[in-house]
Every structure is written in C-alpha cells, then in structure tokens.
Structure 1
Amino acid sequence: MIAVPESIAIRGDWLFTYEDGMVIEAKNLITQAGLNLLASLLINEQSNSLPFHLAMGIGTTAAAAGDTKLQTETFRKIVSAKSRQANMARIRTFLLSGEANGNFNEFGIFVAGTDAKDSGTLLNRLVTPISKTAQTVLTVECRLTFTAG
C-alpha cells in the first residue's frame, strides 16, 4: 500500500456588502493563533460556544502569520450570525447606519474575547481599505473554507 500525503487548507474570504448591492471581496490571512485555536476546538480543549467579535482598525501593516491583534483597533462588535454550509463557516456582522462610520484598513475576527479592544484570539486578519458612512448599512462576512488535498 502506498501512503498518500493529505493536507487540509483553510481559505479566508471577506465580503463587504453595501445596501446598494455593491460588494467588495478580499482574501485574508489565517493567523498561527487562529490555526492553534481551530486545532483546540477539534479536540474539545475549547468550548464551541465561544463568542466571536469583528474588530476593525486603521493600521496598514501587512498581515502576518504571527499577528495576535490588529495594529490599531478602533471598533469592535460581537458577530451577528455564525453558520456552516458544508465545508464553509460563515461569520457575519451587520453594521447599522449609526455605527463604525469612517475609513478602515484592517479587519479581524477574534474568538473568546470580550467587547474590550485586543481581547481574545485573533483568528484571521485582513488589510484592505473600506469606507462606511452614516447613510450606509454594511454587512461584513468572513468565510472560512476548508479543503483537503
């Protein structure tokens, strides 16, 4: 019998959907801390009912595997919905007209944190410019797709 190496890959995609239908898509980096967290969830070292928060900031430093927080976090909100479609986890947050208005450059999903800045484990980080005004409702969705190869 010949052993065939297997691997699991995780791809992170973000979708920023404005109420007028405009969608901005971007790919993110899964951090080492995020990979460690996913492994701990698999063997029940962590509860599967941990809170997830969307964090946004103004930092511009490129995402790196060793990141544990955003460079300059300025906004945080507990995610609105978590769901799964086959091998894809979807994490969505709805930003209403009166919240998170301004220009942002960095985004992350924090697990097991609180409403306090930089709390929890940074699952992933995205650096891309996104703007939001007070007249806008914005849906922010992070999709994590697991594939084997």
Structure 2
Amino acid sequence: MENNVLEKEAKIMQNFTFTIRDAKTGKKKRVYKYHNLVVTVGRAIIAQRLAADNSNSLNLDFGELGTGATAPANGDTTLETPTFRKATASATSSTNQAFISYFFTAAEVSGTFLEFGTFIDGTVTIGTGILFSRVAINIIKTLSETLTIDVTYTVT
C-alpha cells in the first residue's frame, strides 16, 4: 500500500510595518516595511508548546528598539544594543495570522534605531524574556513624532 502524503514545509513569515506620525496632527509622515526572521530560540518555544511543555507562554509581551547594526542571525538571543522597551499595545489573531502592535509616544523615546525585536515572557527591564524575532531597520524618530509598529506573523 502506497502512502500518499502531501508534504509542505511549515513557515512563519513576518511583516513589520513602522509608521511615524506627527504627534500633534496624527498625520502619517513615514512608513517603513521590513521582513525578517523568527530566531532559533523563538522557534524552539513553538516546538515546546506543541509538545505540551508550558514553561514559557509564547505571548509576545514586549517589543524592543535598539541601535545595533549587526545583521539578524538565527542564533540571536538578544538585540545587539537594546535601548528602549515597550509592552505590547494589542495582540489578536485570525485563522493562521497573529497581529501584534507596539506604540511609542512622542515623549518616550527618540533617536536612530537599527534593530527591533519581539520578546516572550519579558518584563519592563531591557533584555528580559526570550527573543522571538529580530529585524534590521533604519528608523529615525524625534520627540515630536509617535511610532507604531505593527507585526504580522503568518503561519503557512
């Protein structure tokens, strides 16, 4: 008897949208779109959860901006140079997609940012939790601008 199994590689695709707005008017000033990787430790948490290992939640509860210029790599466990962390503003899902958002007010942070990462089970302390994904960016934010980061994870 022949076993006809359809084989398809499972993937997690990520789309990052960074939107800079004027803090007073709310008008969009710049929009940046990036794609990058779920790092090995992030994928390991998914495998653990599938095997009923609930020692980590898999909740992406913090996003972190940084200034490190090294390209993201599968082996990353932190940002290279983290500078500011923010709790997740919203998280929803639909079918095979998760939508995670982070919002940075005008007064909270400014600067040139070259990396962003999402973290599982972190706290307000920079570098805590488990890095799930990391992306190289080039974003300039001033104290007169807000920043919204929308991340879409699609599992195929």
- Give the TM-score of the pair, scaled to structure 2: 0.87
One-letter code of the match for 2:32?
A: I
Indicate the residue corresponding to 1:7 in structure 2.
9
SS of aligned partner of 2:145: coil
Q: 1:144 aligned to 2:146? A: no
- Equivalences for residues 1-149 of structure 1 within 5 A: 1-19=3-21, 20-21=27-28, 22-46=30-54, 48=57, 50=59, 52-147=61-156
Unaligned segments of structure 2, at least 5 residues: 22-26
Closer, same or farther in 2 for the Cα pair 1:89/1:51, shift >3 Å? closer
Unaligned segments of structure 1, at least 5 residues: none
Could you report, residue by residue, the CA deviation over 1:85-125 in whole angstroms, capped at 9, with x for unpaired residues?
Answer: 22111110111111121110000001111111211110000
Identity of aligned residues (%): 31
Counting matched residue pairs gives: 147
CA distance in 2, matches of 1:77, 1:64: 23
- Give the TM-score of the pair, scaled to structure 1: 0.91
Alignment RMSD, CA only? Answer: 1.6
The structure 1 segments of at least 4 consecutive aligned residues displaced by more than 3 Å after TM superposition are 47-51
SS of aligned partner of 2:44: helix
Residue 29 (structure 1) shift: 1.2
Residue 142 (structure 1) shift: 1.3
